[in-house]
Chain A
Amino acid sequence: MTVTIKYFGLIAERTGRKEEVLTMDGENYDLKALKERCFSKYDLSDMQSVNIAVNQSLETSCTLKSGDEVAFLPPFAGG
């Protein structure tokens, strides 16, 4: 299965990219496992207050399916 990952703000600065497509084995993948995979890949373990959106909705835990869009969001700063 493949998932599109988007990074924003400070997180995009740390990963050096705004978007990537990841391929995982199997048809289901746990969101927390994906977070761990990305945090470990880019050494983001010191980052706090990271929100995750799956298909533009905030989620804390869920099972991902192929084609999902996962976004790593730093603290909001609108206004």
Chain B
Amino acid sequence: MPKNVFVQGAIPPEKVSDSIAKHQSKTSIGGHSIFLGQVRDDEVDGKVVAAIEYSAYEEMAEKELDKIREAAFSKYDLICAHIYHSLGVVRSGELCFFVFTSSAHRKSAREANQFLVDEIKERVPIFGKEIFEDATHQWKVNQ
């Protein structure tokens, strides 16, 4: 299983189509589920978020991601799971998070995908600096 989760900058949309293409040789798969996180141009006190600069405690993040992946494979009937998250600056409208799960049937692909997304948001030490159009910033907190 590839463990290079972190991608410098935005995740290019081509990475999503390339990932789908790579799974065409795995013919036991009957369903994929894809979650794509995109940077939103939130407005705070009249200022608009232009980008988020992501950073992470990478050594701990890798350990937590391993545990979350293991939990997903023991809980759901998964064939494969791939996770990518941006580090560095991602502008609004660009992709920052890509979770791709594949199973024989749709239900486990969907449920595992939701499980992975929720667990990663809650447990993996990733931090986001929301940079406004006027270059001021605030720190993002997950809802």
Interface residues of A (CB under 8 A from B): 6, 8-10, 13, 49, 51, 53, 56-57, 71, 73-79
A53-B125, A79-B97 given as contacts; is B57 within 8 A of A6 (CB)? yes
Q: Counting chain B CB atoms within 10 Å of each CB, which of A8, A9, A13, A76 scores highest?
A: A76
- Indicate with 1 or 0, residue by residue over B70-90, a CB within 8 angstroms of chain A CB atoms: 000000000000000100000
Please tell me if B126 contacts chain A, counting CB pairs below 8 Å: yes
**Nearest-CB distance from A50 to chain B (Å)?**
12
What number of residue pairs across chains A and B have CB atoms under 8 A from each other? 70
Q: How many residues of B contact A (CB 8 A)?
A: 26
Q: Of residues B55, B97, B121, B125, which shows the largest number of chain A Cβ atoms within 10 Å of its Cβ?
A: B125
Residues of A within 8 A of B34 (CB): none
Chain B contacts of A13 at CB under 8 A?
Answer: 139
Complex CA gap A30/B59 in Å reads: 23
- Say yes or no: is B27 at the interface (Cβ < 8 Å to chain A): no
